Structure 1
Amino acid sequence: MNIAVIGGGAAGLTAAGSAKGANVVLFEHTEKIGKKIYITGKGRCNFTNVCDNQTFLQNVVTNAPFLRSALSKFTPYDAMELLNANGCATKTERGRRAFPLSDKASDVTKALRKYAESNGAEIRTDCRIADITKTADGFIIYSLDTSTRTKQTEKFDAVIMCTGGISYSVTGSDGSSYGLIEKLGHAVISGKPSLVELYVKERMSEAEGLTLKNVAVRADGIKPIFGDMMITDNGVSGPIILTLSAYAARRDFPYNISVDFKPAMTAEELDARILRDFGAQLNKQFKNALDLLLPKSIIPYIINRSGISSARQVNSITKSERRRLAELIKNFGLTVVGNAGLERAVVTNGGVDVKQIDPKTMQSRITAGLYFGGEVLDVDALTGGYNFHIALATGYVAGTSAAEQTHD
Structure 2
Amino acid sequence: MSDDPFREARQRLERGDYGQVLRSLEPLVASYPPASPDGAQLQLLMATAWMGQGNTVRAMACCRQVKRCSDATLRAQARDLLEVLEAPALERPRHWSLTLPDLGEAEPVAGRLQQLASRRRRQRRPPPPPPPPVGPTRPPLGFAAVALALLLLTVLLGGCGAVHAELTFHSPGRLQVGERLVRDPAAVATPWEQALLEALRQAGLRPTAPERPGVDHLVGPVLPAGAALQQLGETITEAGRLAGLDLPAPRLQWEERNWLVGVRQHLVIGVDLRRADPLPGADFSLDLSPLAPAAVRLATPRSAVPLAVDRGVRWPLQLGADNRLDVHCWRWNPLGLGALAIGVALLLALLLARLRQQLGFGLPQLPA
Q: Normalized against structure 2, the TM-score is what?
A: 0.22
Q: Which has the higher helix share?
A: 2
Q: Which has the higher strand share?
A: 1
| Larger RCO: 1 or 2 (CA < 8 Å, sep 6+) | 1
